[in-house]
Every structure is written in structure tokens, then in C-alpha cells.
Amino acid sequence: MRSLSEIETAVKRASRAVGYSWGNSEEVGKSIRQLELFGFQGIKNLNKYYEDKSTKKFEDLNLISEINETLSDAYCPIILGISFLDQIKSVENFKIIKFKKIAYPVIFFSFLSRASEIIGKKILVVLDKYEFLLNFNTNISTNSLKKKFPSKAKIVKIFFLDNKDNFTNYDWKNLYKLSENTFVEESDSLKEGAAGAGLNDND
């Protein structure tokens, strides 16, 4: 089994070989490493994308707006992902971001996962009929882990989720009340011991 560092290094070098700058190649290496860690086919999709890149026209989207639509075959998932990371502090203010036609969207997801960690919010991604919940770059929850990812996403919608507890205030109070049973009341002997602590001469 290949190590994650080996994967990251090979991806970085391969990305540089197909024309990306060393800086962008490093970002791709980090992202594909995360995909493989989470159980997604990062290397397989990246290989296919690099094969298609030599014959198809993919657009580089540098400035992200609420609605993004390309006239070319699809958006490049790498430049789109890097742009998303660079602009995350501003685009998180959008209620929803829509993209039409993204090539090999699973590659783009890896950048979104890292963006989730940067802003400290979960990101919900709806790709056609599938949903993905990106959790602070620690994991990706989805209903399509074993499904074959498309080579092109028709429509991708991105939602930034507000941080909320998964439990009610009633549940929390019950749990906290139970936890109070571990609290120990200070006895007189404990108070005396604490007051004199460190004052004894042991010489």
C-alpha cells in the first residue's frame, strides 16, 4: 500500500509535468492525499482528468460568483478548487453557490473539504442527485461513496452550514444534571489540607 506522503509527492510531480506551477501542483498533492485518506478515488480521477486535459477545453475560473456557468466543455477542477480556497473568506457570505459543468468534480471536493476547515463550517455539496457533507477536513459523509463519480457534473450547488448542536437544550440539561453526580463537596479536612499545602518543611 502506498503511503500518503508518497501519494502527495507523486501527484505534485505529475501535476507539474502536465503544466501546473509548482505552487498549484503542491495544492493538488495535498488535496489528492486527502481524497485517498477519506476513501475516494483521487488518483484514478486525476489520471483520467489529465488524459482528457490534453484533448478537451476546460475553463479556468479565477473569480467565483453566486452563479457560475462556462461555455467550454467544463471548469477545470484544480484551478476552480484553488480559486475557491483563495476566496473562501468572501464566498462564504453567499447563501448558495452554483456551478454548471465541472470536470471530475471529486477533485474539486478535496479543495472544498480543506475550505471547510479554514472557515470552521460544514459545507454541504449537492452534485446532481448526490449529497456530500464536508466536515472540517476530517471526513466527507455521502450517500454515494461506492458510486462511480461522473467525469462531468452538470450542476453543483454549495451551501455553507451554520454551526449548531445536534441535541436539544433539554437533552443537554439532563446529561449535565447526571454529570453533577461526580462533583465532590469540599470537606473540612480537604480545605485544611489545601490551605496548608506547600508550607510543610520536609528538611
- Is 195's pLDDT higher than 60? no
pLDDT one-digit tens code per residue, 141-171:
887 655 677 899 999 999 999 999 999 999 9
Report the pLDDT value the prediction gives residue 146, as an integer from 0 to 100.
Answer: 56
- Which of 36, 34, 30 lies closest to 11, judged by CA? 30
- Is 4's pLDDT higher than 70? yes
Confidence class for position 198, pLDDT limits 50, 70, 90: low
Q: Which residues contact 42 (CB under 8 A, 6 or more apart)?
A: 7, 11, 31, 32, 33, 34, 35, 36, 106, 107, 110
Q: Do 8 and 42 touch, CB atoms closer than 8 A?
A: no
Crossing angle between the packed helical segments 77-86 and 105-119, to the nearest 10 degrees:
10
pTM to 2 decimals? 0.83
Run of H or E including 156: strand 152-161
